[in-house]
Amino acid sequence: MSKILEVNNLNISFHTFAGEVKAIRGANFHLNKGETLAIVGESGSGKSVTTKAIMRLLPESNSEIKEGEILFDGKDLTKLSDKQMQTIRGKEISMIFQDPMTSLNPTMTVGKQIMEPIIKHQNMSKSAAKQRAIELLKLVGIPMAEERFKQYPHQFSGGMRQRVVIAIALACNPKILIADEPTTALDVTIQAQILELMKDLQKKIDTSIIFITHDLGVVANVADRVAVMYGGKIIEIGTVDEIFYNPQHPYTWGLISSMPDLDTAEDELYAIPGSPPDLLNPPKGDAFAPRNEYAMKIDLEQEPPMFKVSDTHYAATWLLHPDAPKVEPPAAVMKRREMYPSYNNK
């Protein structure tokens, strides 16, 4: 599989009154062609900042890419001028935002908003763009597309609005689609419809998707690969099966154990103690160490590198070091390992 996007050693800081917040501290990952990569992590872990950096949507006044590169089709996006970036944003890479209530312009008809990127990027005439917009509305499953074309966002329900947002994002057949919590604001039944729609469209137009969410159920449903972020870093990355059935990092263990599945009957849920790290003064060593019951002395002193688990699976925890003591993961993780014994031997 060929890589369509590569993020190397990305470091992003925000300058605030309180000082420099190191929001992203050396993130590395890539996106393969045609796949869906899910990025999970709690709020403040840097998921949205990473994707906004790819789209260059971070505020210029107080944010800064300190280091690193974002390679798309061989070009480093961090080096492009604003003008060049405009030819990529919305055309080659487009984005679906979390809240369909606020990401549409309430004063413009839905049709006009879909036509905008088509006219801008594909030099189509107005009437051709209109045809294309109606086609897109049909594609995302909006009935009576011709009439809906002339309506305003407030005349649509939440799920329908998110379909419109998806239609806008897909208007120019982007190579990469970034979906930043696209279903968090929606009900489960609507969420299921939108996820099905996205998977269906991915097959039809062959895009690669970066899917940000904190809902592990959604991840299991859509992702091919999963990257887990914590404290501005990717701390574990692997195929969806590897992450769900053979997680290695204690933070991933915590995430997986703290979500009850429908059979969980234990008296108490596993809860990750404490709260996320303060990135104004990132802790020395592993950022997760203070909340990690498996933390060793070295975790407090030195940051763990990415250890290889398999060709596709990497995790940044000292527990994978050959000299590290063997530890028993939480019961919920052990149960998952048993569900998928083929990962046990590794």
Partner 1 sequence: METRKKLLEIKNLKQYFNVGKPNEVRAVDGISFDIYEGETLGLVGESGCGKSTTGRTIIRLYDATDGEVLYDGVNVHGKKSKEELKAFNHKMQMIFQDPYASLNPRMKVSDVIAEGIDIHGLAKTKEDRMNKVYELLETVGLNKEHANRYPHEFSGGQRQRIGIARALAVDPDFIIADEPISALDVSIQAQVVNLMKKLQKEKGLTYLFIAHDLSMVKYISDRIGVMYFGKLVELAPADELYNNPKHPYTQSLLSAIPLPDPISERSRKRKTYDPKMHNYQADESVELREVSPGHFVLCSEKEFEQYKK
Interface with partner 1 (CB under 8 A): 42-43, 158, 187-192, 195-196, 214-221, 223, 240-241, 244-245, 254-256, 258-262, 264, 267-273, 275, 339-340
Strands lying side by side in the sheet with 176-180: 93-96, 176-180, 208-212, 36-40, 225-230, 233-239, 314-315, 307-308
* Reduced 3-state DSSP string for 1-12: CCEEEEEEEEEE
Please check whether residue 201 is in contact with residue 168, taking contact to mean a CB–CB distance below 8 angstroms. no
- CB-wise, 1 or 271, nearer to partner 1? 271
- CB-wise, 43 or 81, nearer to partner 1? 43
DSSP single-letter state for residue 90: T
DSSP single-letter state for residue 52: H
Return d(Cα 285, Cα 292) in angstroms, integer. Answer: 12
Return d(Cα 334, Cα 11) in angstroms, integer. Answer: 35
Least distance in angstroms from the C-beta of 311 to partner 1: 18
Instruction: Kindly state the helix (H) or strand (E) to which residue 118 belongs, with its residue range.
Output: helix 110-122
Least distance in angstroms from the C-beta of 187 to partner 1: 4
Least distance in angstroms from the C-beta of 292 to partner 1: 12
Least distance in angstroms from the C-beta of 289 to partner 1: 15
Least distance in angstroms from the C-beta of 43 to partner 1: 6
Return d(Cα 182, Cα 117) in angstroms, integer. Answer: 20
- CB-wise, 136 or 209, nearer to partner 1? 209
Return d(Cα 170, Cα 148) in angstroms, integer. Answer: 18
- CB-wise, 140 or 272, nearer to partner 1? 272
- CB-wise, 34 or 66, nearer to partner 1? 34
- CB-wise, 270 or 318, nearer to partner 1? 270
Least distance in angstroms from the C-beta of 248 to partner 1: 17
